[in-house]
Amino acid sequence: MKVAALVSLLAAVSFASAEVVWTFKKFQDGVEVPLEQGPDTEFQSQALKKVGEVRKRNNRMGRAADATVTSSNWCGAAVTGSGFSSVVGSWVVPTISRRSGQSSSSSPALAQWVGIDGFSNSALIQAGTLSQLSGSTQQNIAWSEMLPAALRQVNLAVSTGDHITTNVTQTGATSGSITIQNTSKGTTLVGTVSGGTRLSSTSAEWILEDFESGSSLVAFAGFPTSTFTGSAIRSGTSVSPATATLIDIVQNSELCSATLSGSTVSMKDS
């Protein structure tokens, strides 16, 4: 009697806490090839951590966007509203460096990604690349994440200087698909996920992030000015980043500022 009661309690608990499940496939020039999924890492990308809003500043700085917000962890652009179902972005994996004041034993890092949600809520589906300096070696990985789960590393080789195009698409309230494509080499990673935090489809974004490891932000790497090009789909219609809200990273001081030139988002180390 007691045992049966315990079993049904456990069953109820595991039913209540839905699990985020990813499956991945890899293609070379359109043909499926073997892929091993990488381990879960201690890294985690986060919903926007807003530290303040800066309005009116854009005119002064010649920025096209309506508004700029500052964040402790995101730099880039977000289109906001309702009905966002898909986003695509292209970027180059940059050569990263240590900022002045970062010791030679530190391992500064950054992530580049596109995603749906996370700007005005704490649901988020995203995919991209992550770069970290260990000693004098730069390591890059491809990854995807759907909150509340941590980041999934995928065993797709990523080299500094690679041209990456990533598409993140919402396929249901708690499910989605991602593709990460190496346009230099013809490799494509396709991932599908279910069981994530319910999406509200209220933003799509192109972000260079100071992500978390454990519960603190990693040392934020220095980087050459980087860009995103791409678009999002809102209620079936293509939307460019041209009307996006820009996001700057400000910690003790400003570390990254975003600008728009047409529909190209630039992130400048500051």
Applying the rule CB under 6 A, the residues between 171 and 210 that interact with ligand NAG are 182, 184-185, 187
Q: Which is nearer to ligand NAG, 134 or 159 (CB)?
A: 159
Q: Which is nearer to ligand NAG, 133 or 233 (CB)?
A: 233
Q: How far is the CB of 109 from ligand NAG (least distance, A)?
A: 17
Using rule CB under 6 A, residue 162 touches ligand NAG: yes
- Of 19, 32, 205, 209, the catalytic one is 209
Using rule CB under 6 A, residue 55 touches ligand NAG: no
Kindly determine how many residues on this chain lie close enough to bind ligand NAG according to the rule CB under 6 A: 18
Chain residue at closest Cβ approach to ligand NAG? 185
Using rule CB under 6 A, residue 130 touches ligand NAG: no
Q: Which is nearer to ligand NAG, 71 or 188 (CB)?
A: 188
CA angle 112, 128, 161 (to 5 degrees): 65
Using rule CB under 6 A, residue 167 touches ligand NAG: yes
Applying the rule CB under 6 A, the residues between 222 and 251 that interact with ligand NAG are 231-233
Respond yes or no: is residue 209 known to be catalytic. yes
Q: How far is the CB of 239 from ligand NAG (least distance, A)?
A: 9
Q: What letter represents residue 261's amino acid?
A: S
Using rule CB under 6 A, residue 158 touches ligand NAG: yes
Applying the rule CB under 6 A, the residues between 10 and 49 that interact with ligand NAG are none
Query: So which residues are the catalytic ones?
Result: 209
Kindly list the residues in this chain that would bind ligand NAG in the complex (CB under 6 A): 86-88, 142, 156-159, 162, 167, 169, 182, 184-185, 187, 231-233
